[in-house]
Amino acid sequence: MTSPSHSIHHAAAAGYQANSDRYVKGRPDYPPEIAVWLRDTLGLHAGMTVIDLGAGTGKFTPRLLETGAQVIAVEPVAQMLEKLSIALPQVKTLAGTAESIPLPDESVDAVVCAQSFHWFATPQALAEIKRILKPGGKLGLVWNMRDARVSWVRKLNQIVDRHEGDAPRFYTGEWRKLFPFKGLDALQEQVFMLAHQGAAEDVIYNRVRSTSFIAALPPQQQEEVIDEIRQLVAEEEELQGKENLTVPYQTKAYFTTKL
């Protein structure tokens, strides 16, 4: 088994280690429909075992716990795994990467990757996920994405995306090129709507600061990005002068089954 740090992208390693607190504060939760999707589509229930792969600080983990299944969180960034352990002591945690999951063959009923699969979308990772899944087991992929159909959100994304460098992103669709994958059924998609409501400092500024490649920038450059976004907020009629804001999101959920 390789060391967990070997396959962590530099933007994730630097950004998430330095900004795990802002990740907790700035990231939205998930829509209530996800509970139904986990239960009815992935079939999670008591007596099953599910892996939260790339679990981070455990933002998605409570959704998995609500199904009654046993949850094992696998995460390579120690600072994030520590926060998950403190917040959710009932969850078993393992240091590991998607390419080297420290679990036996065909030992779990489902693997769920929330906000994470784009970081490790490689044939090696998908083969490793397939290895630990029981026959008929499910792989679920979930992302919350700001709804760029809204004009001001599109402008916000443009400011942020200028700094992405070579960091993998969901929106590029590169991760989808892995599918179809031998031994896995066709990928199926559902889309839900989500409103992230709260203080602008959290739902916009801390959310941007929690973005891996922004968090990895030198502090002065990070604040230059935030200043540019503050200017956008000040100029947009829909946002200006409001202490609390609503950021529209789409939650995209995909699943496939081990044949």
Q: pLDDT (tens digit, 9 = 90+) per residue, 172-213? A: 999 999 999 999 999 999 999 999 999 999 999 999 998 989
Structural domain includes residue 10: yes
On whether residue 214 sits in a domain, the answer given is no
* Residue 83: per-residue pLDDT: 93
In total, the chain counts a number of residues equal to: 259
Q: What is the pLDDT of residue 243?
A: 86
Is 235 within the bounds of a domain? Answer: no
Q: What is the per-residue pLDDT for 121?
A: 97
List, in order, residues 6 or more apart from 54 with CB less than 8 Å away: 74, 75, 76, 98, 113, 114, 115, 116, 117, 119, 120
For 146, half-sphere exposure in the C-beta direction (CA atoms, 13 angstrom radius) is 23
Over the chain, what is the mean pLDDT?
91
Percent of the chain with pLDDT over 90: 86
Instruction: List the Cα angle 46/103/17 in 5-degree steps.
Output: 95
- Which residue segment(s) compose the domain that 67 sits in? 4-146+169-196+249-257
The rounded radius of gyration (Å) of the Cα atoms in the chain is 18
Query: What is the rounded distance in angstroms from the CA atom of residue 212 to the CA atom of residue 207?
Result: 10
Domain count of the chain? 1
236 found inside a domain: no
Q: Is the dihedral of CA 128, 132, 137, 140 positive or negative?
A: negative
The answer to whether residue 244 sits within a structural domain is: no
pLDDT above 90 (res 9)? no
Q: Is 135 helix (H, G, I), strand (E, B) or coil?
A: strand
pLDDT tens-digit profile of 115-149?
999 999 999 999 999 999 999 999 999 999 999 99
Largest CA distance in the chain: 55
Asked if pLDDT for residue 17 goes beyond 80, the answer is no
Say if 120 falls within a structural domain. yes
* Within-domain flag for 188: yes
Residue 95: its H or E element: strand 92-95
Peptide bond between residue 180 and the one before it cis (omega within 30 degrees of 0): yes
| Cβ pair 44, 156 in contact under 8 A | no
Question: Is 47 inside a domain boundary?
Answer: yes
Residue 45 belongs to domain with CATH number: 3.40.50.150
